[in-house]
Structure 1
Amino acid sequence: MNAQQRAAWRAALAICDPQAKCEAVAALAAGDFAAPADAAQAPLPGRPDKPALVHPREVAHRGLGTVAGRIALLHAVAHIEFNAINLALDAGFRFADMPEAFHADWLSVAVDEARHFQLLRTRLRELGADYGDLPAHNGLWEAAEKTAHDPLLRMALVPRVLEARGLDVTPGMIRRLLDVGDTATVAALEVILREEVRHVAIGTHWFRTLCAQRGLEPEAAFAQLLAEHRVRLQPPLNLDARRAAGFTEPELSLAG
């Protein structure tokens, strides 16, 4: 990645307005986005003033039998997808020395995440709400900060742990939403679940590529990183989705 490209990735990452960020991702993918002159001074990551960021324990959890409960769920998932846009952009910007294919992969992920965010925001608006109306937590971006020094660690702990968790929990969300007849939200979540498998698989591919470059055995390295960072894979796992995303049986056995 040359300096001009890196500046463009950084500029997209620094945009605060969600819609403008989504548009910048599309332009970046089309090769039609340049960094403004003052972009290098903008703080990272760019995000709107709302939602307010709170401790995870302070994020409300409500039943899905009410509109308010479905809004809370949609808002939480929309916030994850917004952070996922930033995570994908940050991977390309931060690890600028990685191969061109790495940047192409994470730009394709950013495009998907932007579309996911827009799907969820549209559904929120249909229910009379919008992104930013409720508080949210910052766990995904905190993980980005903790892994900013090493692409191997980033691939292990963000796509293969945090983002893979979505593969496990989304089917349960879909079942509960079907029980209350919210097929419109189900349709959005089914798209996201299907496409997130590829995102986690991209993380798996680059994790293994980096392990090979460093002479590490991937399964042992993954287990060691989980232990070192006190991270556990929480059952039950969506075994079919995780296998499709490249998890091996020894890796799946680490759950518990």
Structure 2
Amino acid sequence: MDSNTIPSAEGNGPNCLRAQALAALAATEWPEKLAAVRAIEDDAALDCQRSFEPIAGLPGRPERPHLVAPAEVKHRSMATLEGRAALLHALAHIEFNAVNLALDIIWRFAGMPEAFYRDWLRVAREEAYHFDLLRQRLAALGVAYGDFPAHNGLWDMAERTRGDLLARLALVPRTLEARGLDASPMIRNKLAGAGDKDSAAIVDIILRDEIGHVAIGNYWYKQQCTLAGKEPVACYAELARRYDAPRLRGPFNLEARRAAGFDDAELAALQAG
């Protein structure tokens, strides 16, 4: 059942970690959202069984950037400051969406072990850190988050999988976010090649942390497959078809993917297409 349709439980206060995650998800301005994520304590009270009424307008996001179809996002030359700023802006938007995705999985899916929710809180914090690093770098280049248009592909998949935890785990961290593991070395090298070592260093930090985030997705995906009696590779292929996931194309960062918990059978299936 989609948790959007389940009424809130009685007698649970707003300090519950999952309630705080929902409130942070609803925050519209980025300073408010980042502050709300930072305010959630490691040892915050946690009701794993509680179901919530969603807040209207999820996810909260600022009026800018203007959202367009992916094909409408222009590619600019790395030889220009504007081109590098546009790339960093696109990365910042991905990280902003990733904050929302981590917060969403915390409140939306009840009945998981405590460690599940605390794992995704860690992800939300690190994604917020990445967003802020990129935002500060953009500011140093004379650009603000919202100055370029952006697309909403990450959140679109979250909407499609809002009633299916196994699909969410398969198709967001293990598919869309794992694509970042493949793309990061090329992006980093482009920035470094253009002489932008400060921006390249931020991409290095993001890749390091994203390996851990994809590993969390892999762990819980495989845990849910085991509970459901499903073989992970075949289950992934079925979910990718059902939810029309994008077909992944190489080159693949096999070293990073192995570090993130993809096994040989999964990597072989990935390379086979």
* TM-score relative to the length of structure 1: 0.93
Q: Distance in 2 between the 1:161 and 1:225 partners?
A: 11
Structure 2 partner of 1:234: 249
For residues 54-113 of structure 1, the C-alpha deviation after alignment (integer angstroms, 9 at most, x for no partner) is 001111110111100000000000000000000000000101221111000000000000
2:260 counterpart of 1:245: yes
What is the match of residue 152 of structure 1? 166
Matched pairs, number = 251
After TM superposition, the structure 1 = structure 2 runs for residues 58-69 of structure 1, keeping only pairs within 5 Å, are 58-69=72-83
CA contact (8 A) 2:169 2:217 kept: yes
Question: Does the CA contact (< 8 Å) of 2:233 and 2:269 recur in 1?
Answer: no
2:157 aligned residue (143, 148, 151): 143
* Cα shift at 1:32: 7.3
2:127 alignment partner in structure 1: 113
For residue 104 of structure 2, what is the amino acid of its counterpart?
D
Counterpart contact for 2:42–2:118, Cα < 8 Å: no
**Residue in 1 aligned with 2:109?**
95
Residue 30 of structure 2 corresponds to: 18
For 1:46, the equivalent position in structure 2 comes to 60
The one-letter code sitting in structure 2 at the alignment partner of 1:25 is V
Give the counterpart letter for 1:237 in structure 2.
Answer: F
Which residue in 1 is equivalent to 2:69? 55
Q: Within 2, Cα distance between the matches of 1:150 and 1:113? A: 23
Deviates more, 1:218-227 or 1:134-143: 218-227
- Structure 1: which 5+ runs fail to align? 34-38
Correspondence 1:79 to 2:93:
yes
Q: 1:212 aligns with which of 204, 226, 231?
A: 226
| Identity of matched residues, % | 53
Give the 3 Å change call, closer, same or farther, for CA 41–180 of structure 1 in structure 2: closer
Kept in 2, the 8 Å contact 1:167–1:238? The answer is yes
Q: Please state if 1:223 is matched with 2:237.
A: yes
184-193 or 91-100: bigger deviation: 91-100
TM-score by length of 2: 0.87
Do the aligned partners of 1:223 and 1:251 also contact (CA within 8 Å) in 2?
Answer: no
- In 2, Cα distance between equivalents of 1:131 and 1:70: 14
Note closer, same or farther for the CA distance 1:132–1:143 as it changes in structure 2 (3 Å cut).
Answer: same
Residue in structure 1 matched with residue 140 of structure 2 by the alignment: 126
CA distance in structure 2 between the aligned counterparts of 1:32 and 1:159, rounded to whole angstroms: 24
Tell me which amino acid in the other structure corresponds to 1:20.
Answer: E
Quote how far apart the aligned CAs of 1:40 are: 6.2
What CA distance in whole angstroms lies between the structure 2 residues aligned with 1:139 and 1:109?
Answer: 19
Q: Distance in 1 between matches of 2:215 and 2:242?
A: 23
In the TM superposition, what whole-angstrom CA distance separates every residue of 1:208-243 from its partner, at most 9, and x where no partner exists? 010111111112212222233343221111000001
Contact 2:26 2:55 in 1 (8 A): no
CA contact under 8 A between 2:67 and 2:149: conserved in structure 1?
yes
Flag structure 2 segments of 5+ consecutive residues without an equivalent: 1-8, 46-52
**Aligned residues of 2:169 and 2:218 also touching (Cα < 8 A):** yes
SS in 1 for 2:40: helix
Paired letter, 2:228: R
After TM superposition, give the deviation of residue 3 of structure 1 in Å: 3.9
The reply to whether residue 174 of structure 1 matches residue 188 of structure 2 is yes
